[in-house]
Structure formats: C-alpha cells, structure tokens
A and B are shown apart, each in its own frame.
Chain A
Amino acid sequence: MLGLVIRKEIQENFLNIRFIASCGISLLLMISSIAILTRSHEDQVTDYRSRLQQQDEFIDRFGHFNRLGWMSTQHRGPSTLQALVLGIDREAQQDNFISNPVPVLLSRLDFVSLVTVIMSLIAIMFSYNAISGEREAGVLRQVLASGVPRRTLLVGTFLGGLISLIVPFTISVLAGMLYLALSPALQLKSVDFGILALLLVLSWFYVSVFYGIGLLFSARSHTSAQAILKSLFAWVMLVLIIPNVSPFLAAQFYPIPSAAKINQEQYMIVDRERDEIVRKRLREMTETTYADLRPVVGLPRHEVEAALKSDPSLNERYRQYAKECDDIIAAVNKDQRAKAEKIGEVFEKRSQTQEELARVLTSASPLSNFVLIATDLTETGIEADNHWRRQSGEYERALGKYADAKYRSEVEKNPAYDSNDYLDLRGRPRFQYMPAGILERIEPDLPQWGVLTVFTVIFFTAAFVSFQRYDVR
C-alpha cells in the first residue's frame, strides 16, 4: 500500500509542468553558478600562486631582519571547494583601503544560496497543498474511503514528494560536481569527493525539513491558500529572519569592546611603548657600562667598520656592546609582546563567548545549521578561519626563530652588521597550509547535524499528528 502511495505521488509530480519547470530552473542555476564560480576560482588560484612567488622572490632578494614581518605576510589561498561554497567572502572583509565595496552590499550566488533559498522554497511549493489541495479536489475523501490508512497516506506523501524533489536535485548537483571534478585547476582529491557526498546528504536533510514544514501546514489548514500563507510565514522566519538577526542579537546581549580599540592598545604596547623602553635602556647602558664606546657609536657605518678592523680590543668590546644591545631589544620585545598578547587573549575569549551565543541563537533556523556545516566542510567558514590563524601564527613564530638565529650568526661574524642589512633567508621554512581532515571538519558541527535531524523529525511528527485529526470533508 505504502509503495502504491509513493508511486502515485512521484508519478503525479513528474507529470506536472510546474515540477518540470522548477527542476529545470534549479538545474540551470546550479550548473551556471558552479561554472561561473569555477572560472573565478581558477583565476583566484592563479593569482594566489603568482602572489606567493612574487613575495618569495622579494624576500630572497631583499630580505632583512628589520621588516621581515611586514614583507612576509601569509597569503590565504582559495579553498578547493570555494566554487561551490563561498563562505566568508574575504573581499567583503575590506581589509585594504582599495577594496571593492560591492561585496559588502551584495552577495554572490553559490550552491549554498541555491539550496537554502531556492530549494527550500521549491520544497514548500510542492508540499503546501499535499493534504489541503487533495481535500479541495475531493480526492482525499475517496482515498481514505478506499481503505488507505491515514499514516500510510502521510508517510507515502512525504516520501514520494521528497523522492521526486531529491532525484532531480541530486542530478543537477551531480552535474555541477562533475563540472568541478573536470576542472584542471581544482584537482580534487578523494577527501574532496567525500565532502561533496556529505554536502549532498546535508542538502537532502535540509530539503526534507522544508518539505516537512509544508506538509505540516497543509495538514493544519483547510484550504491551500491558508497553507501557503502559513508555510511562507514559517519560511520567512526560518530562512530570512532568524539567521540574520541572531548574530546582532548576540552582540546586543553580550557586547564586547571595539576590536579597533584593542588593536590600538596592542600597537601602542609593541611599538611606541616598546621603542621608548628600548631607547631608555640602551641610553642607560651606553652611558654607564659602555661610556668608552660613545665616540664610535655615532659614526657612519664604514668608519665604524674601519675602526673595528684597526683595533682588535675595540672590536671585542664593540661585539660585547652589540650583543647586549640585542639582548635588551629581545628582552623588551618579549615582555611587550607578552603584555599585548594577554590583552588579545582576554578579547579573544570574550569574542568567542559572543560567537557561541550567536551560534546557539541561530541554530533555531535550519538555514544557519546548513550554512555552518557547509562552510566548515568546505573550509570556507569560521572553523577554517581559526585553523588558518593557528597555522599562520605557528609559521610566523617558526620564521621568526629561523630569522633570529640567522641574524645572530651574521652579527657574530660582523659586529657592525645591523637589522637593515641584507639577510640571506633562502633556506627559510615556507608556509604550507594543511587543511583540516574530514573528521576534524565534521566534529565541530555534529550538534548542527543533530538539530537538522531533530527539525525533520519534529515537523514530520507534527504533520503526522495533525493529519490523524484532519477533517477531510
């Protein structure tokens, strides 16, 4: 009996012109969006590689200790599946004075927006009259009178409708994914195919939530007109309002200080305050311990080198002086950095608490759960941001250590060598971003998977209960 109801539902849908049109549109949009974004992704990859090369060559040719941090900024390459899930748009972060302002105002069309907005709406469009529409047409009475149990009818309608939605959707997604897989610039690995499969499963879950919503309101309304209004009301709240409002509400409930203010404080500590302390301590040292070197210290470089060459005892004394200067600078740098880091840590903790609160508030919407899982799976979201920051920080420390050792060995060889002189850094460690493994990407979002499942179960159960008491006349 159940098989019969499912088959009837699928046949009815497949022969429906609006169904064919909806599927055709979603297929067209899916493939065109993936094709355009893949092209854009290829350009981004090329640009990223050329930027890396340019910066590397610059450090090889003009590397020096003083401005190493400034010249060795880590570039973040585009994620492999960014053509599918754009995630946090980096151009919209507007980090540069000359950034393009458009992405702040308007977002781009990707797989996520197609599934979250268009597929959810299509799901509602196909379920809102599944019960009330049949009642209006007088079919529902006949079907129930012919001995089909209510629960079989509802389960059959749900499964049949869902299958007829998911099959063409899966075909369009697979077509888009095939396009991705064939792109020479992307070079998908086995882990990427695993992620693509998970994205597909995730989309099924998401679509089933909205199919359930449509079915629920259909089973709670006497007419299709009422059902569509109620379903759309729920859709607007779940898709357009809750996800967008939650981050701002979290900021109201748990305000944090201005990031710019914290940056300014940190800058003052590691820059101006540090310079002042270093200057003071060097002056004190020169005036007390190395007063004899005062006439040499202010001379031009070549004269210092000549004086050191001609007088070995002066050379030894200057070497000691240079070493102590470096020790003072290193000690002050360490203290000031620790002070700034402490301020940063406190701020980071508060930001994380606000983010957690926003996550909790936003999880009331299936869309937010979908977006969080999809962006984390494809390494375009918040977790990937944290992952990248950690690796980038570790690399900065490793590079700093390497450059420091190199610099010290140069000073050892030539006491007059200073931090603005060329430093051969060709053997430096290179930054290689290691994407998180598939399990690492799934783990933080397990609650979101759970919430999506609960949503599907709740809406289906509510539809089931409502249909048991539905007046078919």
Chain B
Amino acid sequence: MTDIVKKELLENLATYRFYVLTGLMFTLMLISIIVSYGDYHLRVENYNVLRPAAHVTDKIILPPEPLSIFAKGLDANVGRLYELGALGVQVQPNQQSINRLSSLFSIPDMLFVIKVVLALIAVLSAFDAVCGEKEQGTLKLMLAGRTGRAPVLLGKLAGRFILVFLPFIILFLIASIVVSLLPDVAGGTEYWRRLAVIACASGLYAASFVALGTLVSSLVNRSSTSVMLGLALWVLLVFVVPNLGVTVAQSIGDVPPSDRVEMQNRLASIHSIYETQQVMKNAREKDYSRIMFQIREANVHLFETYRPQLDRLIGLTKALVRISPSGAFAFLMTEMANTGIERDIQVKDEIWMYIDRNFKKFGKLEKGEVEHFQFRPASFGEQVSGVALPDALLLLFVPAALIGLAIGAFMRYDPR
C-alpha cells in the first residue's frame, strides 16, 4: 500500500493540475486572511469607540473574537452594542462599517475557503483516481500484481488526500502563525487548541470529498463522466443541501418573524406606559413602578413564548443542514472559533438573565448598584464535549462511510 501511496504522490506532484489547484488554494487563503483581518481590525476599532466606561452598567459590548479572522460567523452580531433598561434590550443596528453590498454576497473567510474551495480541490484531485487509470490501461497492470483491491484503493485515497491536505495544512499553519503575530490578536493556548480542532475537522472534511471523488471514479468508466458527477455532487453538498435546508426549515418551521415579536413587545410597552399615565394623571403621588412591572411582564411573556419556537426552528435547520458534511463543518468551525450559533444564543441568554436579576435596579424600583455584566463563555472542553460533538462525529462518519462505499464499488469494478 505504501508503494501505491508513493506512486500516487510522485505521479501527481509534477502535474499541471497539482500546481493550479495548490496555487488557487494559496491565493484564496492569502486573500481571505488579508480581507478577514482588515474586517476584524475594523470591528476592534468599533469596539474601542463604543466600549462603555467601567462604571456604566446599562450598556454591554463584547470584544471581537480573534478567531473570527478564520470564521466570521456571528461575531459582528454578537459584538454589537446592547443597550439595557427596564423596558428591555435595544441592539444597535448596522454597527459594522461595511457597505450594504456585503449583505448580497458571502463572507470570504477561511471557513468559506475550506467549505467551498478545499472541497472542490479534493473532488478535482480524486475524480480520475480509478477511471483515469483504467483509461490509461494501467489499472489492469496494477491489479494483476499481488496487492489486493482494497489496499490499492486505500493507497490511492491516501495519496490523493496527502496531495490535497498537505499543502493546505502547511498554508493553514503559516496563516495561523502570521495571524497570531498581528496586533490585537492574542495567540495563546486557547487560540492554538481551537485551531488544532479546526485543522483536524478540515482534514476530515477534505477526506470526505477525496473519498467522494474516488467513489464516483470507481462507479464510472470515463474521467469526463466522473468529473461531471463529482462536480454535481459537490454543488449538491456544498450549495444545494445547506441552502435548501435553511429554506425548507424556515418554510415548515412556522415561527413568526422577529419583527412581529418586536412590534408586539413595543406596543405592549407603550400601552403599559399610556394606561399608567392615564391613571396617574390625577394622582398627587406619582408611582411609576406599575409601568415597569407591566412592561417587564409583557416582555417576559413574549420572550418565553417566542424562545422555544426559535429554538425549535434552529434545531430543525441544523438537522436539515447537517445532511451535508459542509453544514456540519460550518457549525463545528464557527463554534470552535467562538462565532457560532450557540455563542450567539449564550450571549443573549446571559444578557436576558442579567436584566432579570437587575430589573428593579434598572427601573429605579430598588436602591443599590446594578451588578457588572460578566460574560462567561463556554470553555474549550465544554464545547468539544457538548455543542461540537455531533458535528465532529458526523465528520468522522461521512469519510468512513464514503471510503467503505468506494472500496465496495472498487471491488466490483471492471478494469478492462
């Protein structure tokens, strides 16, 4: 098997394809790091401008996450300014100083490069692994030897995987070192541990698409058919399934848009203020605590009714999107970069609980200092054993299953 791996490496290293694909990956990773760091730097500047003074307790803003340079995810969202009060929470709209054109296109971060381009490179590197040899007539010779079919296929798979992943991991390592040395990025243990998980996940993800390309190559007789089928599956797994998953989930999830909930909340607050003022009009002693309690009650009711619906929708979306390894990888990488959906939910939950604990003080219904907001993010260990686990298992399962299928197909492959 080692000989097969060596043969695959030597045969493909000097090819035009290897140079083009590696060049493409290098260019994209470079662009991604430059653009993403620039964007991160802008967010840091915004954060420094908006950061409230130490004694201010009714405004919260979290610093941008350095790992968002690799996967921006929801970082711009989480890092917005939250203005708190007894009436609820206001989020600053359009905090990011990026033109509206960006909302029409995707974010060109490392997540995008790996999810889309690395997967494409993997498929393009493996589509002729078996049928290409058959076309050249070398497959018959190879199988005429003493090596069994399974080791031949595993050797080919390993060889092609190394050709894809080795240049990637070298570039990724260089990018990680460069980023860790940039201003505003603290590259401590946490940074490296998280990037190590992302690198492993990228390996599994690339292996999935190399295995997919090899499987397709073991099912057809011609390279031209194999490349067509490989690209069709790549489009299906990278674009169609995740995007259609979100579309289907939103369509069947039957969750009201947040604008409706916001409006109901707003009108309930105005109603409480208005009604109380009508009652107070003729009172000599004006007690506005009633307004506060009514508004709080309305807020809590709406939040507690809406939240389970939203959680269900998120759960359904995740389940549908995870049908594709691309979806599972995106969830895993954003969670590891602290820019995922769970981080967004956790921040909002903690802010909500903070207001709940300090509501009377915010509304001046109780004397005393409002406590300082302390966000305790989930630790690396908690994330790995919790939110990242299903995606990690999926990313382990998919290449294993595809390799199994590829071996099965190759066992029955006619090399003539």
Q: Do chains A and B stick together as partners? A: yes
Residues of A whose CB lies within 8 Å of any CB of B are 18, 21-22, 25, 29, 32-33, 36-37, 39-40, 43-44, 47, 51, 54-55, 58, 62, 64, 67, 70-71, 73, 75, 87-110, 113, 117-118, 121, 125, 129, 133, 224-226, 228-230, 232-233, 236, 240-241, 243-252, 255-261, 263-264, 300-302, 351, 354-355, 358-359, 362, 368, 371-372, 375, 381-382, 385, 420
Q: Which one of B268-276, B369-377, B395-403, B407-415 is at the A interface?
A: B268-276
- Asked if B136 lies at the interface with its beta carbon under 8 angstroms from chain A, I say no
Contacts A240-B117, A252-B35 given; does A96 touch B250 at CB 8 Å: no
- Known interface pairs A62-B274, A249-B35, A355-B100; A18-B228 also in contact (CB < 8 Å): yes
Q: Is the Cβ of B77 less than 8 Å from the Cβ of A260?
A: no
In the complex, which range does the number of interface residues on chain B fall in? 35 or more
Q: A62-B271, A107-B246 are in contact. Are A300 and B317 (CB under 8 A)?
A: no
Instruction: Say yes or no: B77 contacts A104, CB within 8 Å.
Output: yes
- Measured between beta carbons, the chain B residues less than 8 angstroms from A73 are 263, 266
Least Cβ–Cβ distance between A448 and chain B, in angstroms: 12
Cβ B246 vs Cβ A255 within 8 A: no
Which residues of the other chain, A, contact B232 by a CB distance below 8 angstroms? 21-22, 25
**B367 contacts the other chain (Cβ, under 8 Å)?**
no
Which of A89, A104, A248 is in CB contact (< 8 Å) with B98? A248
Within 8 A of A (CB), among B224-281: 224-225, 227-228, 231-232, 235, 239-240, 242-251, 254-264, 266-267, 270-271, 273-274, 277, 281
CA distance A382 to B100 in the complex (A): 7
Give every chain A residue within 8 A of B254 (Cβ-Cβ).
43
Check A93/B105 contact, CB under 8 A, given A225-B223, A420-B274: no
Cα A232 to Cα B194 in complex, Å, equals 32
Q: List 5 A-B contacts (CB under 8 A).
A: A73-B266, A241-B31, A302-B282, A371-B105, A375-B104
Nearest B residue to A302, CB-CB: B282
**A105 near B35: Cβ-Cβ < 8 Å:** no
Q: Are A106 and B321 in contact (CB under 8 A)?
A: yes
- The verdict on A258 contacting B321 (CB below 8 Å), with A71-B266, A100-B310, A247-B99 known, is no
A283 to chain B minimum Cβ distance, whole angstroms, is 20
Pairwise interchain contact B90-A97, C-beta atoms closer than 8 A = yes
* A255-B266 contact, Cβ under 8 Å, with A87-B104, A108-B243, A385-B100: no
In the complex, which residues of chain B have a beta carbon less than 8 angstroms from the beta carbon of A75?
259, 263
Residues of chain A with a CB closer than 8 A to B73's CB = 104-105
Instruction: Verify A248–B38 contact, CB threshold 8 A.
Output: yes
Among the listed A96, A108, A118, which residue makes an inter-chain contact with B258, where contact means beta carbons less than 8 Å apart?
A: A96
Q: B9 at the A/B interface (Cβ < 8 Å)? A: no
The distance from the CB of A109 to the nearest CB of chain B, in whole angstroms, is: 4
Q: Mark B98-119, 1 if CB is under 8 A from A, else 0.
A: 1111111111100010001100
* A18 engages B225 (CB within 8 Å): yes
Task: Give min CB distance, B305 to chain A, whole Å.
Answer: 11
A-B pairs, top 5 by smallest CB distance, nearest first, are A247-B102, A109-B243, A260-B95, A244-B108, A355-B99
Q: Is the CB of A251 within 8 A of B99?
A: yes
- Specify which of A55, A100, A261 is in contact with B50 (CB 8 Å cutoff): A261
Partner of A117, one of B239, B313, B330: B239
How close is A455's CB to chain B, nearest CB, in angstroms? 18
Q: How far is the CB of B67 from chain A (nearest CB, A)?
A: 15
| Residues of B contacting A229 in the complex (Cβ-Cβ under 8 angstroms) | 16-17, 20-21, 124
